[in-house]
Every structure is written in structure tokens, then in C-alpha cells.
Amino acid sequence: MPAFAKIEANIDAYSAGEAVATGAPRIIHRLLIADEIAVKGRARWDDKTNMILGACREHTPPGSREFCDLQDATTFFERLDRNEFHLASEATVAALGSLAREPQLYNPRPVCISGTCKTEKGYQHAALLRKLLEAADNRKVHGNITYRKVSFASDGEAKRGLALALEFMKYPLSPTSPIYSLLQPLDFMNLLVGPDDITPDKDYRHVIKALRSLLMRRMSINVLGFEIVPAVVKQHLRDVGLTEERIRSLFYTNRRQNVDRTYGLPKEAWSLPNAPPMASPTLSLREQLTHMSTAADLLLVLFTTDNAGANFMANQTFVNIMLMIKNAFFCVAKAKVDIPDSEFFLILLGTDRLEKRRASNITEVYIILGLNPTEIEDHAD
């Protein structure tokens, strides 16, 4: 498990550059964002901390990784061979992201990288989330700025979904909360929250990927008793003039990370006659929220009519969409109460900023490898 003091130190390092000692007090809303990256399973020595890194957080006891002499390294690998702990196969990257117009503020600030062997349960992962939450709360004031954490954003990963529910859907929203009067009148609104009214969020890009998979699945989609299969969707696309080549490309199942294919099929589906897109850059915030509320109502009807359930869409996809819409309303309500004169950009919600940062770093690595291939190989040896 990552050290609490180090997380706080990382938060301080990022926040110090944003705060100023003078000026009017200011509130900035922040998201906590988490995602996983694949890592090579190997141990390494960190000369800054004199620790052996690379072990999973699930099974490595505190204080067992310090490298003082050769015996420590020998003991580390003997315990590894006995399967007492494992080398990390993934790393959880947690970051802070501000809801602000300025790029220097809304760019993600990674504050924790923790290796995992992917065996931890949801309740164990919740312990990591609590640590991140507490560290952010302890370091919420810097100079004239007070940071308020408003949501915890994640992708559709099931384990973290359970952890988010355990930590951030604990209590009913209190009638004494400043946002209660704004949200309580909304029919069917789920008012369960975590500490300081924080809510879980699901990244909308992962939701769109799930909807694309829904349109492509071989088993039918049950919509109010009508069975829709991929062949029906393809025929509708032909009827509006799409070429066979384009249709084959949209339904191509490999290269799932391809952005055009991820968005292409849902876009073509919502572009069919009498089905305009639910999002547009010309919509006001009120209109966006109205469309999201309508979408939630329609999904509820389609999911529950004739007990369609998973025959309409996967339970997890349904829950993720509802959590995403709920979080948008909560974040807008908090902004209206805390910083009523501010702008609000729904597109800043979710985990996309963290993933873009990772993609940018990968590009930089490839450039370095291209410029200095020999030096890199020598260093690796």
C-alpha cells in the first residue's frame, strides 16, 4: 500500500504552483481519477528511497522491501519464490484534476502509483480509495485556494466499481446539505453519497465503448419486446446510404482502442433519421442536463419493461450510465452552491485527462527511443 505521507507530499508539490499567498479566497472543484496501466513484472532498486520496488500492494508487508545489504535482496527473492507475494502486473495510477478552464489547472496531477497483482477484492481496493480521499482532504487548502473533491472518476472496471459503491454511496444526502434543495425534487434521483457529498463517476468514453459492443453483440437487444440483431442495424445503415466497406469497418471487432471505430458505430446509429445526437457543442448546460435526464428516464423504461434487464443491456453498463448521469447533476449542483459565477464543462468529467497524459508520455518515450536507440539498449543491458 502506498505511503500516506508520500501521497500528501505529491499533492502539496502540485498545489503549491497553483496557489498564491494573496488575493480573494477561491474555491476550485477537483476530481479524483484512477486508471490502470500494464507494467513489466520485475523488481528494481530505487536509489532515492533505497527500496526494492515492483512488488504487489496486496501481499507485501510494510517495511519488507528496504535494501540494506545483499541478504535483504536474497530474502526478497526467496519470499517471492515461495509465492508469499507477487510482482506487480499492473499499476494503479491515481491523479487529481481540477474543473477549470485553464489548461495549467485542468491537466491531471498524478499523486499515487501503486503496483497490483490483480487479486485484491473490492473491499480491499476501497482501502486505497479511502487513503487517497483522506490525503486529498488533509491537503485541501493552499494559500488562497480551497480545493473541494466532488467526485471519484473511473472506467468500467468491475472491482473498482464495487469499491466506489462501498465508499461513495454510503449515506443518503443530508437535508442540511446545501445541494439538497437542488437535487431532492428530481424524480428517481439516487441521493446516496460519500463523505462531503462526494459521488462516483464513470468515464463517458468507456460508456460509449460499451454501447458500441451492445450494438455488435450476436445475441439480440430487447427493446420493448422487439429483438434487434446486428443484421438489423446494418440494414438501417444501408438504407441511409452507407457503403458496405464503411459498415464492415464499423463492425470490425479487432483493434478495440481505435477511436474512429469506437465512436463511429454509435454516431452512425444516432444519425439515423429522427434520432439526433444527445450531445452537441451548441447545447447550453441546461439543455445538456435535460437531455441526460431524458436519456436516464428512457433507459429506466427500456431496462425494466417486461423485465428486459440484461436482454436489453448488461447490468453493469446500465449502472455505469446512471452513475455517470447522477454525478453530472451532483457536480453542477455543487458548483452552483460553491462557485455560482463559474463556468462548468461537462467534458472535464471522467478519466480521459489521465489517459491522454499517459498517451502523451508514451509518445515522448518513443521519440527518445528513436533518437537514442543504442544508448537505451546499452542502459537496459
Per-residue pLDDT at 19: 59
Residues 276-326: pLDDT tens digits?
Answer: 554 566 789 999 999 999 999 999 999 999 888 888 888 989 999 999 999
Per-residue pLDDT at 184: 95
Listed in sequence order, the residues at least 6 apart from 151 whose beta carbon sits closer than 8 Å to its beta carbon are 31, 32, 168, 198, 199, 200, 201, 327, 330, 331, 349
* Domains of the chain, residue spans: 206-321
- 378 pLDDT more than 90: no
User: Residue 148 and residue 196: Cα distance in Å, rounded?
Assistant: 9
Per-residue pLDDT at 370: 46
Per-residue pLDDT at 39: 86
CA quadruple 99, 101, 105, 106: dihedral sign: positive
Long-range residue pairs from 264-272, CB within 8 A, at least 24 positions apart, any chain? 265/212, 265/215, 265/216, 266/208, 266/211, 266/212, 266/215, 268/237, 268/242, 269/215, 269/233, 271/240, 272/236, 272/237, 272/240
- 21 pLDDT more than 70: no
- 244 pLDDT more than 90: no
- 328 pLDDT more than 60: yes
The residue type at 41: G
- 132 pLDDT more than 70: yes
Backbone angles phi and psi of 205, in degrees to 5:
-70, -35
Q: What does the mean pLDDT of the chain come to?
A: 82
- Greatest mean pLDDT among 63-67, 151-155, 232-236 lies in 151-155
Average pLDDT over residues 45-69: 79
Residues 336-373: pLDDT tens digits?
Answer: 999 998 889 888 898 887 776 555 554 455 444 445 44
Q: Return the percentage of the chain with pLDDT > 90, whole number.
A: 27
